[in-house]
Amino acid sequence: MENCLFCKIIAGDIPSAKVYEDENTFAFRDIAPQAPTHVLVVPKKHVSSVAACDELDDQTLAACLKACKKVSELEGLTNGFRVVSNCGEDGCQSVPHLHFHVLGGRKLTDSMA
Ligand code: DGP
């Protein structure tokens, strides 16, 4: 999608530190990491957020979660990790392309909100 930051990253028009890629997903390091591992998993097809996930085919949606698991393995997060997807204004989403934060590498805080 034109003018979407993450679409430009997926296309390689904006550089990123790629961690994983498959047919349906792309994963790269967050520019402002909040944990030793902080990777963003995105579907290659543009949808704005979880609120629009019914615009994605089920295979791609499932591929996003499987990519999160793959990233956890590649990053050696054997002691656990967290997957977060911020949605909309109250969810503090800042980039309107569906993405899953994969966070780990240390004991994370109890707080979810
Ligand atoms: P969210 O606030 O949930 O929409 O998360 C968006 C994340 O995207 C945020 O943690 C910072 C990250 N981010 C923003 N711009 C860039 C960028 O140009 N490159 C990379 N790698 N990450 C970015």
DSSP β-bridge partners for residue 42: 26
Q: What are the mean pLDDT values of the chain's consecutive 10-residue runs (113 residues total)?
A: 95 98 98 98 98 98 98 98 98 98 98 92
Tokens of 2: 């034109």
Instruction: Give the tens place of pLDDT for each residue, 63-89.
Output: 999 999 999 999 999 999 999 999 999
> How much is the pLDDT for 104?
98
Q: Which two tokens stand for residue 50?
A: 């979880």
Q: How far is the CA of 10 from the centre of ligand 1 (A)?
A: 13
Burial of 108: CB neighbours in 10 Å, binned 0-12, 13-18, 19+? middle
30 touches ligand 1 (CB under 6 Å): yes
Options 1.10.10.10, 3.30.70.270, 1.10.1200.10, 3.30.428.10; which CATH number does 5-104 get?
3.30.428.10
> Can you give the pLDDT at residue 1?
82
Domain boundaries, the chain: 5-104
Measured distance CA(43)–CA(10) in Å, rounded: 9
This prediction has a pTM of 0.98
Work out which ligand 1 atom sits closest to the CA atom of 91.
3
pLDDT for residue 89? 98
Which one, of 101, 107, 78, lies nearest residue 29 by Cα?
A: 101
Give the pLDDT confidence score for residue 62 in this predicted structure: 98
Please indicate whether residue 86, judged by its CB atom, sits closer than 6 Å to ligand 1: yes
In 5-57, which ranges are continuous DSSP H helix? 5-11
